[in-house]
Amino acid sequence: MAFTDLTDEELMVEFQSGNPDALSFLLKRLLPKLAAISRKLSPDKNLADDSLQEALATVWRKAEQFNGDSKVVTWLYVIIRNACIDIYRKEEVRTRRNISDETLLELGDESNFADASLTQMVIRKAVFELPEELRDPVCLVFLSEYSVEEASGLLGIPAGTIKSRCSRGKALLAEKLSDLRPKE
């Protein structure tokens, strides 16, 4: 049977039956979608590509253990999201060090750029620290600007649940980011 006729889940079963080409085909077929996720979750293309590369390596390492509890695309999303967060955290540590030690001191109050970078880091950090069940819907709908329906398909949960989790996530973020609330 041609791989093109198989669903993602069937390709995974084919891979687990001893055909690595099935996973290769699956990853290539989903690549635009996976690339879009990493690009939308990452602040720049270099970090996005590092994350995707790391995620693909993880997929090859863990695909034998995929147990079909979720859709394949959901499983892949979680791997990419984790890779993006890991790489972003490493970059954040490095950037914070650079900004606080050098740029802020040099530029002082004129440093809109440094302020903006720090603000962006604070916001991303707050999102990444949300409980997992809220983080994914918030990341997809608000950060990556997927529609509720698309997020529902990706995460394998009903659209109504996505909406309610987004609302709860938004409320939690509003508490955490209250300093950034616009002055009235």
Q: Footprint of another protein on this chain (CB under 8 A)?
A: 20-21, 23-24, 27-28, 31-32, 35-36, 38-40, 42-45, 47-50, 52-54, 56-57, 60, 120, 123-124, 127, 138, 141-145, 148, 163, 166-167, 170-171, 173-174, 177, 180-182
CB of 93 to another protein, least distance (A): 16
Phi, psi of 46 (to 5 degrees): -65, -45
Residue 40 or 71 with smaller CB distance to another protein:
40
Q: What does the H/E/C string look like for 91-115?
A: HHHHHHHHHHHHHHHHHHHHCHHHH
Distance, in Å, from the CA atom of 8 to the CA atom of 13, rounded to the nearest integer, reads 9
Q: Interhelix angle for 72-98 vs 45-62, to 10°?
A: 140
User: What residues contact residue 108 under an 8 Å CB cut-off, 6+ apart?
Assistant: none
CB of 151 to another protein, least distance (A): 11
Residue 138 or 154 with smaller CB distance to another protein:
138
CB of 25 to another protein, least distance (A): 9
Counting Cα atoms < 13 Å in the Cβ hemisphere of 118 gives: 14
Residue 4 or 108 with smaller CB distance to another protein:
4
CB of 167 to another protein, least distance (A): 8
CB of 177 to another protein, least distance (A): 6
Q: Which amino acid is at 145?
A: E
Q: Which two tokens stand for residue 156?
A: 């394998």
Residue 9 or 49 with smaller CB distance to another protein:
49
